[in-house]
Amino acid sequence: MDRGLFHLLYSIAFLFFCATHLHSQNSLDQIINDMTRNHQGLPHGVPTSYSWYTGPRIGTPVPPAGWTAAIGWGQVYEWVEGNPATNTRVQIKDMEMYYLSKADHQWHLLQEARTVFGWAYVEDFVNDKHKTADTRMEADSSISVTCGDGYNFHFWPQQGRTLFPVNDVDACFVTVQARLVLDDPMGVDDRDSARYLLNVGGDWWLDLDAQWDQWKTNRDMGIGRFRFVSSEWSSFNMITLSVERTRENPPPFRTKTRVAAVQKEDHDTFCQIYPNPIHDLATLTYKLYNRQSVQVELFNIQGQKLKSLFNGVLPAGDHILTIHTNDLVTGVYFCRVLCGNLTMGAKMVVVK
């Protein structure tokens, strides 16, 4: 079968699957367990002297005085005893970070991203050595990744750091969703034997542009529990509150009811492409609820950025962008719209 046609059929099948399955369901008990229980499995290549080797911990729960930026992050490792699977990837999506306000005692969204970005770092992070990761963009604008051979996958929201209200942060909560998918859908399904571990955490930064300087310009909020990734969607969490305060101040988390509401809201604001499939040109439509900076980018199915379609500031309202496909070959592509902390995306099929 032609490789381009194979990817097209796979993407269509994947979209159908996504449309008929609910996302993972998180719970308060799961969030607490992710900060109190030892790791479900130990990460490969991490020295036993590291404070997060055997279990989660809270680091610096509130930002140092005068610091202004923060970021949520996550990491994927192979299990210390090995990972026999060779046809399995870890799909990651919907990373969110919230802060608990001192002023109103409510949780507020700081970051959200369907698409995460990251590098393959040496497992012990010595000398900050890293290289390009084996990532692939999936049909819903999320990514999947593999790791191993002495490297992990360290990731964060595509948009990078974000500002927080100075002197108002009482705690932070980071969550992300992940599951196992096949590298080659026509190959052997070895997900049951896969041994990938994932956890999340967060960092405070001096400001948006500070460079890493041996922990002088950043401090970690905390590190959550490593759990094995399975073929079902699951949420992975980190919170900087004690168990008692977490129960008193439960953070926002995905339930089946909330997911249904989020999907309806996303449908109302999601960018759409028409016509689709496309022969020569199409229109991308999307809605903004306030004036903000917007970037529109085009990617191929391997997750490689092909070109920027728009970069500028737009007012609130409905927007239309014409996309010319004369220079594209037959295949599946993705348009990604970055606006503030929100990432929207739409799949498009080009047929010549």
Q: What is the dihedral of CA 136, 304, 158, 308, to 10 degrees?
A: -150
- 45: Cβ–Cβ under 8 A, 6 or more apart, which residues? 77, 80, 122, 123, 124, 150, 152
Distances (CA, A) of 280 to 15, 283, 325: 23, 11, 5
Binned at pLDDT 50, 70 and 90, residue 200 comes out as very high
pLDDT (tens digit per residue) in 147-185: 999 999 999 998 889 999 888 999 999 999 999 999 998
Least confident of 41-45, 66-70, 292-296, 335-339: 335-339
User: pLDDT by residue (tens digit) across 98-117?
Assistant: 999 999 899 988 888 888 99
CA 291/CA 190 separation, integer angstroms:
47
Q: What pLDDT score does 179 carry?
A: 97
pLDDT tops 80 at residue 20? no
Confidence of residue 233 (pLDDT cuts 50, 70, 90): very high
Domains and CATH numbers, the chain: 24-253 (no CATH), 258-350 (2.60.40.2550)
pLDDT of residue 305: 84
> What pLDDT shows up at residue 343?
66
**Residue 185 is which amino acid?**
P
Q: Residue 143 is encoded by which pair of tokens? A: 């990514």
Residue 119 tokens, joined: 């590098």
Confidence check: pLDDT of 222 > 90: yes
Q: Which of 86, 91, 82, 302 is nearest to 181 (CA)?
A: 91
Q: Average pLDDT, stretch 221-245?
A: 97
Which pLDDT score, from 0 to 100, does residue 280 have?
85
Q: Which of 37, 25, 28 is nearest to 226 (CA)?
A: 37
Q: How far is CA 203 from CA 71, 164, 236, 242, in A?
A: 5, 12, 16, 18
What's the count of helices (H) and strands (E) in the chain, helices before strands?
A: 4, 22
pLDDT computed for residue 342 by the predictor:
64
Task: Give the mean pLDDT of the chain.
Answer: 86
Is pLDDT above 90 for 199? yes
The helix, strand and coil proportions of the chain, stated in percent and rounded to the nearest 5, come to: 15, 45, 40
Residue 338 and residue 327 in contact, taking contact as beta carbons nearer than 8 Å: no
Confidence band for 43, pLDDT divided at 50, 70 and 90: very high
- CB-facing half-sphere around the CA of 296: CA atoms within 13 A: 20
| Residue 41: band (very low, low, confident or very high) from pLDDT cuts 50, 70, 90 | very high
Of the ranges 41-50, 164-173, 305-314, which is most confident?
41-50
- Check: pTM over 0.75? Answer yes or no: no
Q: What is the mean pLDDT of residues 310-315?
A: 90
Q: How far is CA 213 from the centre of its chain?
A: 25
Do 221 and 238 contact (CB within 8 A), yes or no? yes
Specify which of 147-151, 265-269, 318-322, 331-335 reaches the highest per-range mean pLDDT: 147-151
* Over residues 260-283, mean pLDDT: 64
Query: Is 238 in contact with 223 (CB distance < 8 Å)?
Result: yes
Band the pLDDT of 263: cuts 50, 70, 90: very low
* Higher local confidence (pLDDT), 215 or 121: 121
54/336: higher pLDDT: 54
The pLDDT, as a whole number, for residue 339 is: 76
**Per-residue pLDDT, 270:** 54
Mean pLDDT of 241-261: 75
The 10 Å Cβ neighbour count of residue 45 is 16
pLDDT (mean) for 288-307: 82
